[in-house]
Amino acid sequence: MKKFLCNRKLNIIYSVLAVVFMWVAWIIAYHSVGNSLVVPSFEETFKELGLCCADAQFWKAVGGTLLRTLIAAAVSAALAGVSAALSCLAQPFRAFFRPIVAFVRIIPTLAVILIILRWTEYDKDIAPVIVTALVLYPMMYAQIMASADGLDAGLKNLVKVYGISKPTAVFRIYLPVMSPALLSQGGADISLGLKIMVSGEVLAFTLNGIGGQMQFAGISSMYARLAALTLAVVAIGIVIEAVFLLLERFTFGWNRGESAS
């Protein structure tokens, strides 16, 4: 217990030191450049952040971006789950999905956005969702396959000994065992999806999203507001990862406790 509390205190201290380091680096960069149009000051940025928080349009943009991110993450998770389940059931499926996943992983994001904008007749809401889903899909597929390949050999032998069918083993035995690891990675996946979504919104100029507001701030030379919007995205990503971390701990904390004992 004392070791746990000590490690927790050290983690908090190191996290605070990291925040202070980034804050000092920001101040040094601002005074080194000496031009708020290149590096906005700390005070100007947080003043703009306060104005953003008081603006209903900002929260509408946050809601739109989060909704699109969650939709893209849900689609990616569903596709990755089905693909991984089939790959676990039969080796030919694994061989079939391997080149597809590799292709989706390496396609350029910018080119995909431009192509999708043409296909969707310049629908600025759909294009970022499709691109985000394409980016998340191969990563989620790889995570699920890594968790499946890392399952305990004894568990697999148990399935063979009792003659449990592969579909039953995948959905009733393997997935519950893999859930803690997948849930702990979910926050990082959605946080990355948020970053990709905002980038897609910037390129597509999605006005009802944070990316569209960033694009408008950049065009209007409102660099302090651009920096404030960037900080807002970072804060939202941190909150998402923290929520998933707490969810994983409260849901599967008993499992770690048993392992430790």
What are the pLDDT digits (tens) for 145-158?
Answer: 888 887 777 777 87
- Is 11 within a domain? no
177 lies in a domain? yes
Q: Tell whether pTM > 0.95.
A: no
Phi-psi region of 122 (alpha: psi -120 to 50; beta: other; left: phi over 0): left
pLDDT of residue 176: 77
| Of residues 108, 110, 88, the one with CA closest to residue 97 | 88
Calculate the dihedral angle through the C-alpha atoms of 186, 190, 191, 197, rounding to the nearest 10 degrees.
160
Into how many domains does the chain fold? 1
Q: Domain residues for 207?
A: 61-252
Sequence-distant (≥ 6) Cβ neighbours of residue 102 within 8 angstroms: 138
Task: Report the pLDDT value the prediction gives residue 252, as an integer from 0 to 100.
Answer: 58
Check if the beta carbon of residue 228 is closer than 8 Å to that of residue 45.
Answer: yes
Task: List, for the chain, all residue ranges whose pLDDT scores fall below the cut of 50.
Answer: 4, 254, 256-261
Q: What is the pLDDT of residue 9?
A: 65
Give the largest CA-CA distance in the chain. Answer: 72
> What is the per-residue pLDDT for 258?
45
pLDDT for 197 equals 93
Mutual angle of helices 56-89 and 223-260, in 10-degree steps: 40
What pLDDT is stored for residue 1 in this prediction? Answer: 54
Residue position matching structure tokens 């050999």: 153
| CA separation for the pair 80, 93 (Å, rounded) | 13
Supply the pLDDT for residue 121.
Answer: 64
Instruction: Look at residues 211, 228, 261 and name the one whose alpha carbon lies nearest to residue 36.
Output: 228
Instruction: Say which DSSP state 24 is in.
Output: H
User: How many Å apart are CA 10 and CA 23, to the nearest integer?
Assistant: 20
Q: What is the pLDDT of residue 200?
A: 87
Q: What's the DSSP call for residue 173?
A: I
Rg of the chain's alpha carbons, rounded to an integer?
Answer: 22
Half-sphere CA count of 179, side-chain side, radius 13 A: 14
Please give the Cα distance from 180 to 156 (Å, whole number): 18
Q: CA-CA distance, 133 to 76, in Å (whole number)?
A: 5
Query: Is position 66 within any domain?
Result: yes
- At 123 the three-state DSSP class reads coil
Contact 156, 173 (CB under 8 A): no
Domain presence at residue 18: no
- Residue 43 included in any domain: no
Residue 257 lies in a domain: no
Per-residue pLDDT at 27: 82
Alpha helices in 34-125 (DSSP H): 42-53, 56-89, 91-106, 109-119
Residue 22 is predicted with a pLDDT of 81
CATH of residue 77: 1.10.3720.10
| Residue 54 domain flag | no
b/e code 181-202 from CB counts within 10 Å (16+ = b): bbbbbbbbbbbbbbbbbbbbbb
Q: Which pLDDT tens digit goes with each residue over 1-15?
A: 555 456 556 667 777
Query: Which tokens go with 204?
Result: 């597509």
